[in-house]
Structure 1
């Protein structure tokens, strides 16, 4: 078939298509060249030549450390007294407001005292009568004794007079005791606070008849208070061993000190003192009961409140402690990374002990003096070259060097983007695409070619060719 366009025009179109195919073939070969051959070797050499990773370290220095632990507990008043009536009668008046703090000796209630006052008066009269009888018996005894000395009366009369005197003395003592009992009952009509504390709701209203033993209210002492908590069996044994080793079970204030932790996590200002440790283990719970006494001047600890008690279980000397961030899980082992003598990261298997304030206690694996790595553990592998950061400034400098060593792409790409933003589409767009395609990394195969600006730059070249091909199509 005869083509309407001349032969040289067809040769230009075919040559342009061949050039574009060569460009894409070079780009695809650059993307896949990292697997084998020279490209793979260059990638391995680049990986081996990576600079050391900057890391932060913690130098292990053996020292004495306290092993502390926290246990849940409840606050209760040191003394809780149930105020009860001691006599029977009508409750006349209440002198306090429910829920307020009363001082020891303050008047709480009064019970109708009139019946008891009458009994007291009666007992006083009986005492007076007994004393009068005693005086009469003493006078009779005086006369009979003088008559007996002159043989004026018999011995039987003398003995009767002496018995009357002794009986009169016993009657006086009995009357005095009855008066004391009546006065005690009269005193019970005034109910006073037995201790300083906070009162509960009233149990009996005014005007009610109360009897001996009727509960009127409850008073709870708020200063000091007690905190009851329990230790597991193993912790209790460890604590007893530590106290025995120190040889100061009753004099070591640090051993018996307790820090009270409030529900919001704050520490209570006053420290507690453990004043009681149960000598037996509860077979049902497997715990040992402890009690701490805490000064509660501002009434910050209310009885019944949930708190935590922190106490010292033991003190380790020459202990090795590492920060918590340094501990990681390796291949079926707990490990830390240290900086070896060759400047490379080395994984060391460790056996961890209890938690302490500075981190975790290391039972075995470290002896002291090691530089434990505490940063970048997610990217760190055994044998990797590391560089210890001397200060924050070096850390920033190292980050810049590391970014610069990643390749020329990070430095050249912003320049290329700036240039493309300022430049206008031209006939040299195809050459620009070839240069960027040759700089592609294996992980981003056609990222630069797929950008909209690449199509924009090459569109003028393709527009002429497409128009030419369209004309050819219409001609055919």
Structure 2
């Protein structure tokens, strides 16, 4: 009986060890199955957009400066002393408005002298014409010789020429007299006057009395590289863009705001500046409130034409090969990733303008493009752009509120430490 009791614990231990070994052996196949299941991951989920061709404006943004539509440097056309200034500096003046009054004493005297000379010549002509009429009657009865009549007719012709010369001299004197009042040749904004009453001025002097600038409309001079111009002309010749309408220009001011009125491209220089390699373009803008002043810096966005059947793709969806080729990742009909070379033609905001390589209905991967590779099976979902910036403060507030209990929990410990 004692020997049976001694063998019982040994048999129990052996049975337990055997069961543990069996259990351990039974777990190995399950772990292998779990590992195989772990290796077979579900398809990656990616956000896609569907290619939809549309007509897109091709724009280019260039820097430029404003310049006045018309500039007139007013100079005197007669000599004399300035008697008074007839306008307010910086005010708007109309075409023909008097600006300065020059002492007209000498010019008035010259005009009077020319008028008297004309009267004398006209009187001489009248006397000769009366005598010629009398000789014409006498020659019919041979009372005077034909030679005498011919000499008198020649004197009448000379007197008529003298009258014409006197009339021209009087007109010139009257013009000089009119120049005694200096008038604005154009309508525009007046600048600072360089002379005051009492100043002596001379005809056609080098220094302008005042400068008048027409600011409505106003020009914006823009510099475009010759390379961009050549590319644009090639696209026009190939028919890849349409430029049937007038070229529109949008303007961004120095402070970053957009000018509310669109302008039109009015002029393109015929030569390239050899120093900068650029061509000057000139756009004209309406400027009724004189918000634009000459010399201001501005960024001009020029609508060069309309690209038909182009596709807008977010810039995050386009990658570049080492050779610079633009590539897009497409999800084909089998749900697999397919690389597709594309051709870009500039950018519009945060999107590339794609002109070749994509077809209507193609699913272009935008979100998750870094996690996929060619021929990989994926699951698609509509691409959702990132949250708008105005949502960020709300998120930040929630995070701050969530973080507030932590400092409050530590406050009693800090107080108890200070009391200790």
Q: TM above 0.5, one fold?
A: yes
Whether contact under 8 Å (1:320, 1:362) holds in the other structure is yes
Q: Which runs of 5+ in 1 are unaligned?
A: 1-36, 393-476
- Tell me whether 1:268 sits opposite 2:290 in the alignment: no
Local SS of the residue matching 2:100: strand
2:150 matched residue in structure 1: 159
TM-score under structure 2 normalisation?
0.74
Deviation at 1:110?
0.9
1:472 matched residue in structure 2: none
- Tell me whether 1:232 sits opposite 2:225 in the alignment: yes
Local SS of the residue matching 2:127: helix
Whether contact under 8 Å (2:69, 2:219) holds in the other structure is yes
Whether contact under 8 Å (1:80, 1:219) holds in the other structure is yes
Q: What is the aligned counterpart of 1:99 among 73, 87, 90?
A: 90
CA deviation string 1:81-112 (max 9, x = no partner)? 11110000001111222222211121111111
| CA root-mean-square deviation | 3.2
Structure-2 change in CA distance of 1:283 and 1:42 (3 Å): farther
Q: What is the aligned counterpart of 1:292 among 283, 290, 293?
A: 283
Distance 1:307 1:41 in 2: 69
Specify the structure having the higher radius of gyration (Cα): 1
Distance 1:125 1:145 in 2: 30
Distance 1:364 1:248 in 2: 13
2:412 matched residue in structure 1: none
- Tell me whether 1:372 sits opposite 2:364 in the alignment: yes
Deviation at 1:80?
0.9
Local SS of the residue matching 2:132: helix
Distance 1:258 1:135 in 2: 68
Structure-2 change in CA distance of 1:217 and 1:267 (3 Å): same
Tell me how many residue pairs correspond in the alignment.
354
Deviates more, 1:179-188 or 1:349-358: 349-358
Structure-2 change in CA distance of 1:391 and 1:319 (3 Å): closer
Whether contact under 8 Å (2:68, 2:215) holds in the other structure is yes
1:5 matched residue in structure 2: none
Deviation at 1:364?
5.1
1:403-414 to 2 correspondence within 5 Å? Answer: none
Deviation at 1:41?
6.2
1:176-191 to 2 correspondence within 5 Å? Answer: 176-191=167-182
2:21 matched residue in structure 1: none
Local SS of the residue matching 1:260: strand
Whether contact under 8 Å (2:241, 2:305) holds in the other structure is no
Local SS of the residue matching 1:389: strand
Q: Which runs of 5+ in 2 are unaligned?
A: 1-27, 385-420
Structure-2 change in CA distance of 1:264 and 1:372 (3 Å): farther
1:252-401 to 2 correspondence within 5 Å? Answer: 252-254=244-246, 256-328=247-319, 334-343=326-335, 345-357=337-349, 359-362=351-354, 365-380=357-372, 386-389=378-381
- Tell me whether 1:219 sits opposite 2:190 in the alignment: no
